[in-house]
Amino acid sequence: MDSFGDSSIFLHMNDGTDERSYANNSSLHRKIILKVKPILEETITRLYRDSSPSCIMKVADLGCSVGPNTLLVTSNIIDIVDTACTRLNREPPTFQFYLNDLFGNDFNTIFKSLPDFYSRLVENKGHKFGSCFIHATPGSFYGRLFPNNFINFFHSSNGVHWLSQDPLLGLSREAESLNKGHCHLVSTSPPTVYKAYLKQFQEGFKLFLKSRSEELVTGGAMILLFPGRNETPRRSLWEVISLTLNDMLFEDLIEEAKLDSFNIPTYEPTIEEIRHVIEEEQSLFLQRLEIFTLPWDEGISECGEDSFLDGNISAQFIAKYTRAVMEPLLSTKFEAKVINELFIRFQKKIVQLMKLEKLEYAIFLVSMTKVNP
């Protein structure tokens, strides 16, 4: 996401380990990762069996963020390969894991968790298990991160829907004014604004695929997980944030100029839009494209809460993880008291919406392999 310039340092989740940190508000993300673990197992097993990276297996997690989920995929892949080695009677490979995110990501918290991770690995696998080296690779995944023919497997969860830049940046002032009072796509957004978001997604995703195809070894694979749109119309989280900020604008609680200059750089594509870019770029073969749904409060049980007792508990859970994701970006335009008021109102709006409609994510799973040259 280099095109945001200096503000790219704010495109990250809340760091640290306190109550508002992403590390303590990422159980929904964990549920998404665990939901597709069987497909990850199938892909990694096939990759290891067919390409046999017997010496070194290089894996990159793009948009790794911070918190317990950062090393969850790493652990899962190690377990899968360990099982495959036993089944195929092979020696385990040396693992090289590359954790990627933007420069503002809290890599220090990840580093501090590594001693415990390595200790658990030795405890669970024994000293005879292959070596495991974990590296940080900061930078935008909308461009090259690794040498040619270098990576065996790419994984990215909840990352690709973040755009490389503000989608309305290049529009005329007249076009920008069409979405005035809103910072994302809402039901009243005109076609011009939709087209700008779609164009930015298409350009970024095409560059993403081209970069990964050059970095993958022949026969290498990639799994992407990110929110999208299917045939059932669904309200997006970003729309609720935009509507809440719009309410605050009408009550003169925020400055019009600040809201007009703020756009949330995310786009949730349709299956057809994803297929179109993959087919146009041509360098990767689409193995599978699946969609599943999860409620916005999925994962609340892991936090010790019971959403059936009180709808406000679910709304609070949703507000907390949304704030953990959005606060650094919001802080580029709005002061702390505005952000506090935003999420008080956001939580109340979620309570109201839950009485009227089903709040669900449509999560896309895209599995690809590198086309032979």
Instruction: List, for residues 84-123, the tens digit of each pLDDT value.
Output: 888 888 888 889 999 999 998 889 989 999 999 999 988 8
Mean pLDDT across 227-244: 89
Q: Using the structure block, give the residue that is written with the tokens 């317990």.
A: 68
Neighbours of 348 (CB within 10 A): 14
Provide the pLDDT for residue 18: 73
Q: Whole-angstrom Cα distance, residue 43 to residue 18? A: 35
Residue 307 has pLDDT above 50, yes or no: no
Residue 152 has pLDDT above 70, yes or no: yes
**Burial of residue 100, with CB atoms counted within 10 A of its CB: 0-12 exposed, 13-18 middle, 19 or more buried:** buried
Give 68's pLDDT tier (boundaries 50, 70, 90): confident
Provide the pLDDT for residue 373: 62
CB 255 within 8 A of CB 333: no
Task: Dig out the tokens for 170 from the structure.
Answer: 């290049």
Residue 347 has pLDDT above 90, yes or no: yes
Residue 129 has pLDDT above 80, yes or no: no
Of 35, 140, 18, 120, nearest to 71 (Cα)? 120
Provide the pLDDT for residue 318: 94
Give 5's pLDDT tier (boundaries 50, 70, 90): very low
Sorted by where each begins, the domain ranges of the chain are 6-169+191-231+264-301+360-370
Q: What is the pLDDT of residues 180-201, one digit of tens each?
A: 889 999 888 889 899 999 999 9
Mean pLDDT across 287-311: 76
Q: What angle do CA 121, 125, 126 make, to 5 degrees?
A: 100
Assigned CATH topology for domain 6-169+191-231+264-301+360-370: Rossmann fold (3.40.50)
> In sequence order, what DSSP letters do the residues of 40-101 get, joined into one string?
HHHHHHHHHHHH---SEEEEEEET--SSTTTTHHHHHHHHHHHHHHHHHT-PPPEEEEEEE-
Residue 136 has pLDDT above 80, yes or no: yes
Provide the pLDDT for residue 205: 97
Query: What is the percent of the chain where pLDDT is above 90?
Result: 57
Q: What strands lie across the sheet with 56-62, from one edge to the other?
A: 132-136, 94-100, 56-62, 151-157, 216-228, 360-370, 284-295
Average pLDDT, the chain: 87
Residue 268 has pLDDT above 70, yes or no: yes
Neighbours of 26 (CB within 10 A): 26
C-alpha 361: how far from chain center: 13
Q: What is the CA radius of gyration of the chain?
A: 21
Task: Dig out the tokens for 239 from the structure.
Answer: 């729309």
Give 127's pLDDT tier (boundaries 50, 70, 90): low
Provide the pLDDT for residue 251: 95
Which of the 8 DSSP states describes residue 162?
B
Provide the pLDDT for residue 171: 75
Out of 14-18, 153-157, 302-306, least confident range? 302-306
Q: Model-level pTM?
A: 0.91
Residue 309 has pLDDT above 60, yes or no: no
Mean pLDDT across 137-152: 95
Task: Dig out the tokens for 313 from the structure.
Answer: 């508990």
* CA 149, 151, 157, 162 torsion-angle sign: negative
**Burial of residue 320, with CB atoms counted within 10 A of its CB: 0-12 exposed, 13-18 middle, 19 or more buried:** middle
Please enumerate in sequence order all residues whose Cβ is within 8 A of that of 255, keeping only pairs 6 or more positions apart, or say none.
none
Of 187, 167, 189, 176, nearest to 265 (Cα)? 167
CB 194 within 8 A of CB 239: no
